Amino acid sequence: MIHAGLFLATLLTTLIAGALQQGINPLESPLSVWRGIPFSFTLIIILASHEFGHYFMAKRYAVDVTLPYFIPAPSFIGTFGTFGAFIKMKSPILDRRMLLDIGAAGPVAGMVVALPVLLVGLMLSDVRPASSGTGTNLGSSLLFSLLSWIAHGSLPTETDIVLHPIAFSGWIGLLVTCLNLLPVGQLDGGHVAYAVFGRRQRGLARIIFLLLILLGLTSWTGWLVWAAILYLMGLDHPPVVYEWIPLDRRRLIIGWAAMGIFVMTFTPAPF
C-alpha cells in the first residue's frame, strides 16, 4: 500500500536526519540510527496529528478523502528528512461551514500536539553562552518566544538555547503550521480565509504574496521560493458549491482563532 510505504520511508529518512543532528554518521554507525528517534517520532506524530485532523473532519462530512501521504526527503542535504504530508479530498466542498471545519481541523490538531511537545523539548534544552559555533541559528515566532520564556524565563542577550531534538521537532511543527496557514490558494489558511471572508480572500492573498516577496528580499530568501510556488499553485481559492450559506458565530470564532495561530507562529526569518 502506497500510504504505508511512504510512511515507512519517511520514518527512515527522519530517523537518519535525527541521527545526523546528533553527530552520527549512519553509513559508519548504522546501529546508532536509533538516536534519531526523539526527533523522528515527535515530528511524525505532529505531522500525523495535523493530517488526521483534516481526515477525520472530512469523514464526518462524508467526504471522499485519502489517508495521509507522507513525503520523505533525502536526509543528507540538510533537510528534516521529510517535506511534510498531505491528504487528497475527492468530493466537492459544499459550503463555507464545511470548508472552515475541514480547513481548520488540521492546524488545530497539529497545534494541540506541537505545543506540549515544544514546551517539554525546551525544558530539556540547554542554555549556553552565545558562541560563534557551526550550529544553525533558528528564527523565533511570537509563540516560540513565549514558550521559551515559560521554560527558561528571561535570558540575557548573550545566551543561546541549544534545542533538544524534541524541541527542534516542535519548532518545525510551528513552522509547518505557519506555512499551511498562509491565507493563499488551497492551503489550510486559504480555506479558512475564504470561509471567513468569501471572495475578499483574493485581496488578502495578494497582500500576503507581496509580503513574502518583500521578506524574501530582506529577511530569508526561502520566502521567494514559497512565493513562486504559491503563484504557480494559484493565489485564489475556488468557490464552494453553496456560496451564500454564511458561517455561524462559533465558526467565525474558530476562523479568527486559526488566523491568530498564523500570526503567532509566523517567523519572518526562520533560518
pLDDT digits (tens, 9 = 90+) for 181-191: 999 999 999 99
Over residues 111-147, the pLDDT tens digits come to 999 999 999 999 999 888 876 555 678 889 999 999 9
In a domain, 77, yes or no: yes
Q: By the 8 A CB rule, do 76 and 20 touch?
A: yes
Instruction: Give the global pTM.
Output: 0.91
In a domain, 250, yes or no: no
In a domain, 96, yes or no: no
In a domain, 222, yes or no: no
Distances in Å between the Cα of 209 and the Cα atoms of 95, 153, 189, 205 are 26, 36, 13, 6
Q: Which residues contact 106 (CB under 8 A, 6 or more apart)?
A: 50, 51, 53, 54, 180, 188
Number of domains in the chain: 1
In a domain, 7, yes or no: yes
* Residue 25, pLDDT above cutoff 90: no
Which domain range does residue 67 map to?
A: 1-91
In a domain, 71, yes or no: yes
In a domain, 58, yes or no: yes
In a domain, 98, yes or no: no
Q: What mean pLDDT is reported for the chain?
A: 91
